[in-house]
Amino acid sequence: MQVGLLASNANFWICGEDPLCHLFAEQHNEGLQTGRISRLCSPLLMKPSSKLCALAVLALLWTSLLCPDLGAAIHRTRDAQPLRDDIALSWWDLPARSSRLLSQGRAAALALPENQARCLGPQNLLVLRVDFSDVPGEPISVAEAQRVLDEEVKPFIERNSFGQTTIVSTVSPKIYRISRSAQDYVYSDPGFFWPNTAAELFDEAKSLAKDDYALGDYSRIIVSYSSQLSRLFPNAKWNLNGLASAPGEAMWIGSFDFETVAHELCHTFGARHSDFWRGTATDPVAYGEIEEYGDPTDLMGHVSGRDHDLAPWHKYLCGWLPDEAIHTVVASGTYRVYRFDSPDADLTRPLALRVNRDNLRYYWIGLRGGMKSDEVRHPAGTADGAYVGLAFHENYNFSLLDLAPPYDDQAAVVLSAGATLDDSAAGVRIHVVERGGTGRDSYLDVQITLDKPVQPSLVGWGSSAGFEIPFRPIPPVQATKVATGIYHTLALRPDGTVSAVPGYPAPATTVPSGLADVVSLAAGNMVSGAIRSDGTFAIWGEGKFGLNSPPAGLERVRSIAFGARHAVALKLDGTVISWGERGNEFPSEPGAGDLPADTRNVVAIAAGDYLTLALRRDGSIVGAVPYPSELRRDVRDLTAIAAGGSFALGLRANGSLVILYNTSGNGHAEIPPGLDDIKQIAVSTTDCLALRADGTLVAWGGFGRGARPFHNLKLIPPPGMKFRSVATGLFHSAGASEAVESAIIGEAALRTAGKVRISWSASEGASCYLFDLSSLSTFASFTYGWDRYNVGKATSVELPALDPATTYYYRVHSVSATGETSFSNVGIIAPAAAVTISSPQNHASNAGTTAMLSVTAAAGSSCRWYRDGDVLADAVSSTLNLENLQPAATGLYVAEAINGAGQSVSEPAVVGVLSDRKVIGSGRELLPVDIPHPNGNIFDQVLLTGTAEAITADYFQNQITRTSFVDLDGDIVQVEFSGPGTLSIVLDNPSGPAVAEKYNQSSISYMKGHARIVIAGADEQTNVSIFTVGRTTAVNQSLFKDTANYDGIADIAYIAISSPTGRFGGIRAANAQFFAAKGFTGVYAPGVQFTGPVYLGDISAYDTAHPMIVLGASASEVRITGGDMLQDNGQPVRVSGVRQLRFTPGSDSHGNSLPARPNDAIYQEGGVDVTAQIVVNP
């Protein structure tokens, strides 16, 4: 049995066939049970009857927290191959080790102990025979114990270690009587905190023997007790046959036979179990389940006998396989690997091939020359082939693969000569060319093809990684951002969906169905959160302290942070909202409490157990903490903050770190020296992670100032990896790794279309560089957040795809160690003149017809099309045909031309649908019709019933058509349309139909979403109004609930208008907020002259969205009623046809006044700043 959680390198006990948890079960007697662990089950891997398994695992985790000084996990370092792994030492044996970071390739770096005293050479082993008052007598004779050790176990160790290790055994002639009865021991709760039951037995045996032996001279000690215990006490609380620390000094042996003793002894060297990966009928790797101990060839699997050598992975973990014997494949080619189970193997030749599959698991490929045909099955008539398995970067079990169809029946667990394993999901192909040689010179020639680099993926490590990491969904989660709670992990996928690694607590890892378009994550103790690009959010998990019950009406959220009993949300307008409970510990000092009510201009938030911090735009912080006098308020150059427990850390503009708050007394307050190039930080109750500019990671932490650092495995990230995002919880850490590409020598790197790399000369004395990017030569605003962006000591930066039609300006700040700053000259990124594209024409045609858009691109260019910011996957030519045009296809279309010089994007084309019917698409007209309104107008009413609809008005009768839906805040929105033309509505993030929860109107079900509005076929008689149903706008006041929190503002993305006459009436949207995170937001009506008013509440662009007020001309001023036009992404607002932009007061639909606010945006027309010419502030 090995000691440790299945998912980690932590030094915990692994017991035998425990009725609580089959995970840790192994019986070395008749009735051995083999565990089949499903990929689809909880990572706790409970058998259906193992209801207490989770408690066992949790308690084991707590052990590591309570006993930080009992052990450490230290790097084992090899210096020849570009690989490294991590091994945890035993709790009580801590030889000094060091590590050296080696060259990077497709795989991470291997590691081997430099101090190999515990692995190589003579290992002194002491057997302490014990008995109990209720089970007296010798457990095994001295002679028999000595025989098993000297004649069976010792030769096995010497053969597997290639003669590098031997054991020198001493068996105590004395039998030591344990003070407690056997029954008391075996029926006592095993205990999950040190010392536990097994540890107490071990410690007492050592205490009794301390006068007879110099215990420090023995690297391993066996406590031997009667094999009758398992028969006498069949319901024992812990395994009685075999148990060991992995790695470590302790073994508990009841069945003193070769298989048990050798198996447990190998655990003390670091070996893990050898499992079988039962694939599906069609795929040997990507999906399947683990059968623990299922390897039929390895003593660490489900076998008996002295000729079953350990797999190369285990020999490496034991320190017996040196650098020269492991070839790490980082490029395609044919490689020779020699037999690894020959006792006289030449350790200077490759005995194993190691191939990185996905940054988490590695193929280990070898040749077992001693395999028997009845043990290792292969197709009839073929020679034995490659022994192939998967192992994680962590010190964890090895999983042998079944490599012949149907991949799930162990019909062929070797890859025979001429056979191929094609792992297309990972871009790895393994083909056995031939087998040759004899004896120790037996070899396989194996062709390895690496088709593509390993993609960014979720990586986890730590003492609670058993909840997430090894038995994660396969193939691994692809991640761009991560968040961690105490036990669980969330990953943001590149497509905007969320994966929660299954585990405890289940509610927090059950992602809501349909959750998409997510841009950020949050994870707390038992709760999870996700924020969408439009500012809406979802929270799920256990409902303790009200954390999953945010205030009604909370909207437009940028980020969320969870404390122990409270939660905090940062809104897009820079304000902060909190909810939940504080607990008795908050506040604890006069002046403590919530953030000041007037806290504004916040750009980031962080929450600890009972504290909240907010980072303001000017680089300062404001906090609500138990002890306000401990909060550093004098720091003014912060770019990021992080908090956990009673500790908070800040990242300064120069890349250095500063402690902002610390009342914890833990070791994470001891910031390592030399951290001056940090780009991201993460904090938990006890530990800190700092991500360097080059993607490498630094971790530190501890329990108590001046105490030994708490080196549990969450402080030892997977070696050789670089990360784009990291997070740390109380028990584990996780990261989204960067892609690790194969090295390419002798070829120039190709420039990615649309991306730009900026370089500059190094400044003597500079400690870091800050990079600015703007579309304005004055740098009055910044693009995509490139405002003093810290690139560390790098002298280049790669920018994402920029608008090729825009001129950009950039500069570099050189910052000295003392904080002095100097500016570089200003650089210019000119428009991509080499790539040109015409703009498609607006299109409006009847529903059911084909709409054709076309552009003319520069020679040699390829094209792709976008609708409202989303790429159309199959639209890759200069012509786009929209067959069977329907309301759902309406929107703003742009084309992009791409060639080696860059890219160019067309102007948007308005695509609308025309109809002579009252409603088409997913909408229905309500009865009665021709409804007279108290204001004298006659209405027809339409209800949106799906994602998209198109409506018309009976304009010859001067009637209005009103359509309704619910916006993302839960307010009922009404769009009133009159005059010629057709108005289409398309909802993003649609849901429903469902009752509008804020209203007393149970008889009607509404669609909910974020609306895009397109009007086609309009003229000067066409008008549109948008507002929400409020106490001011509604006739029926009984609709409203006194307990509901109404936003009173309609939320939409944009209004786009095309007019065959080039004229339009007016837009009355003073009660509307326009915003989007992609595509366009605002009003787009190029070439359309307005004869009526244009009233808009506000416009805000987030992420990659482009804000605009594009008109042909306006007969009067354009008004912004109550808004300030602040653009979250720093983009200037594109304007056209706007003579004056006047900022005036407004009101919501409930009559609440919205004061006039001054302008906070930059306006450009034709690339020229016209802000001063058009803005009229209050």
Same domain, 1079 and 1163: yes
Helix, strand, coil shares, percent, the chain, to 5: 10, 40, 50
Between residues 352 and 31, which one has the greater pLDDT?
352
Give a three-class secondary structure readout of 809-854: EEEEEEEECCCCEEECCCEEECCCCCCCECCCCCEEEECCCCEEEE
Confidence of residue 396 (pLDDT cuts 50, 70, 90): low
Q: What is the CATH number of the domain that holds 861?
A: 2.60.40.10
The dihedral formed by the CA atoms of 772, 777, 779 and 781, expressed in degrees to the nearest 10: -100
In the block, residue with structure tokens 């060839």? 297
Between residues 770 and 1151, which one has the greater pLDDT?
1151
pLDDT of 107: 29
pLDDT of 766: 66
Over residues 271-282, the mean pLDDT reads 76
pLDDT of 601: 84
In the block, residue with structure tokens 């049970």? 33
Same domain, 442 and 581: no
**Among the listed ranges 213-217, 344-348, 1117-1121, which one has the minimum average pLDDT value?**
344-348
Same domain, 901 and 1047: no
Which range has highest mean pLDDT (366-370, 760-764, 906-910)?
906-910
Q: Where are the beta strands (DSSP E) in 262-419?
A: 274-279, 288-291, 326-329, 333-338, 352-356, 361-366, 387-392, 398-401
Q: What is the CATH number of the domain that holds 714?
A: 2.130.10.30
CA distance 392 to 586: 43
User: What digits encode the pLDDT tens for the residues 982-1036?
Assistant: 999 999 999 999 999 999 999 999 999 999 999 999 999 999 999 999 999 888 8
User: Is the pLDDT confidence value at 414 over 80?
Assistant: no
CA distance 268 to 11: 11
Closest alpha carbon to 104 in 895, 537, 694, 674: 694
* DSSP-based three-state secondary structure for 886: coil
Q: Last residue of some domain: 911, 933, 958? A: 911
Omega prior to 505 cis, within 30 of 0: yes
User: Is the pLDDT confidence value at 1080 over 90?
Assistant: yes
CA distance 560 to 569: 4
Closest alpha carbon to 1084 in 896, 950, 891, 905: 891
pLDDT of 1161: 92
Q: Do 541 and 528 contact (CB within 8 A), yes or no?
A: yes
CA distance 221 to 218: 7
Same domain, 159 and 196: yes
pTM of the model: 0.48
Is residue 521 within a helix (H) or strand (E), and if so which, with residue range?
strand 518-523
Between residues 94 and 1049, which one has the greater pLDDT?
1049
Phi/psi at 777 (5° precision):
-65, -20
CA distance 309 to 598: 69
Two tokens, residue 545: 């302290």
Same domain, 906 and 941: no
> What does the mean pLDDT of the chain come to?
76
The dihedral formed by the CA atoms of 800, 803, 808 and 812, expressed in degrees to the nearest 10: -10
According to DSSP, the β-strands at 1066-1076 and 1023-1028 are parallel
According to DSSP, the β-strands at 960-966 and 938-951 are parallel
User: What digits encode the pLDDT tens for the residues 106-156?
Assistant: 223 333 333 356 788 999 999 999 999 999 999 999 999 999 999 999 999
Q: Do 492 and 741 contact (CB within 8 A), yes or no?
A: no
Which of the 8 DSSP states describes residue 402?
P
pLDDT of 101: 19
pLDDT of 584: 41
Q: Is residue 1168 part of a domain?
A: yes
Q: Name residue 326's amino acid.
A: I
pLDDT of 1133: 94
Q: Last residue of some domain: 780, 801, 829? A: 829
Q: Where are the beta strands (DSSP E) in 1045-1122?
A: 1050-1057, 1063-1064, 1066-1076, 1080-1090, 1094-1101, 1106-1114, 1118-1121
CA distance 658 to 639: 11
Q: Which residues contact 438 (CB under 8 A, 6 or more apart)?
A: none
Percent of the chain with pLDDT over 90: 32
pLDDT of 371: 55
User: What digits encode the pLDDT tens for the residues 590-612?
Assistant: 444 577 777 888 889 999 888 89
Same domain, 721 and 818: no
User: Is the pLDDT confidence value at 36 over 60?
Assistant: no
Q: Which residues contact 767 (CB under 8 A, 6 or more apart)?
A: 654, 655, 676, 793, 815, 816, 817
The DSSP result for 598-660, as a single string, is T--SEEEEEE-SS-EEEEETTS-EEEE-S-GGGS------EEEEEEETTEEEEEETTS-EEEE
Same domain, 818 and 850: no
According to DSSP, the β-strands at 1094-1101 and 1066-1076 are parallel
Q: Is residue 505 part of a domain?
A: no
Between residues 261 and 361, which one has the greater pLDDT?
261
Confidence of residue 425 (pLDDT cuts 50, 70, 90): confident
Q: Is residue 3 part of a domain?
A: no
Over residues 1165-1176, the mean pLDDT reads 89
Q: Last residue of some domain: 202, 234, 269? A: 269
According to DSSP, the β-strands at 766-774 and 723-728 are unpaired
Same domain, 322 and 415: yes
Q: Name residue 491's amino acid.
A: A
Same domain, 814 and 892: no
Q: Is residue 1132 part of a domain?
A: yes
Judged on CB neighbours under 10 Å (0-12, 13-18, 19+), 1031 is middle
Q: Is residue 793 part of a domain?
A: yes
Closest alpha carbon to 460 in 434, 482, 444, 440: 482
Omega prior to 475 cis, within 30 of 0: yes
Over residues 824-835, the mean pLDDT reads 60
User: What digits encode the pLDDT tens for the residues 848-896?
Assistant: 998 888 888 776 677 889 999 999 877 788 889 999 999 999 999 998 8
Two tokens, residue 298: 């390895």
Same domain, 847 and 928: no
User: What digits encode the pLDDT tens for the residues 621-641?
Assistant: 998 888 888 889 898 888 899
User: Is the pLDDT confidence value at 99 over 60?
Assistant: no
CA distance 925 to 751: 54
CA distance 898 to 781: 28
Between residues 937 and 759, which one has the greater pLDDT?
937
Q: Is residue 808 part of a domain?
A: yes
Which of the 8 DSSP states describes residue 316?
H
Same domain, 922 and 906: no
CA distance 907 to 805: 10
Full residue range of the structural domain in which residue 616 is found: 484-492+517-737
**Among the listed ranges 755-759, 819-823, 1017-1021, which one has the minimum average pLDDT value?**
819-823
In the block, residue with structure tokens 């027309």? 1165
Q: Do 579 and 607 contact (CB within 8 A), yes or no?
A: no
pLDDT of 560: 94
Over residues 64-93, the mean pLDDT reads 24
Q: Is residue 470 part of a domain?
A: no
Domain count, the chain: 6
pLDDT of 456: 53
Q: Is residue 84 part of a domain?
A: yes
User: What digits encode the pLDDT tens for the residues 220-236?
Assistant: 999 999 988 878 887 76
Q: How many residues does the chain have?
A: 1178
Kindly report the number of other CB atoms within 10 A of residue 681's CB atom. Answer: 23
Same domain, 552 and 628: yes
pLDDT of 165: 93
**Among the listed ranges 11-20, 246-255, 516-525, 1156-1165, which one has the minimum average pLDDT value?**
11-20
pLDDT of 58: 33
**Among the listed ranges 10-24, 224-238, 323-337, which one has the minimum average pLDDT value?**
10-24
Over residues 325-330, the mean pLDDT reads 82
Confidence of residue 261 (pLDDT cuts 50, 70, 90): very high
Which range has highest mean pLDDT (163-172, 421-430, 693-702, 825-834)?
163-172
Q: How far apart are the first and last CA of the chain?
A: 76
User: Is the pLDDT confidence value at 412 over 80?
Assistant: no
Measured CA to CA in angstroms, residue 169 lies from 122, 212, 217, 305, 751 at distances of 10, 15, 12, 21, 64
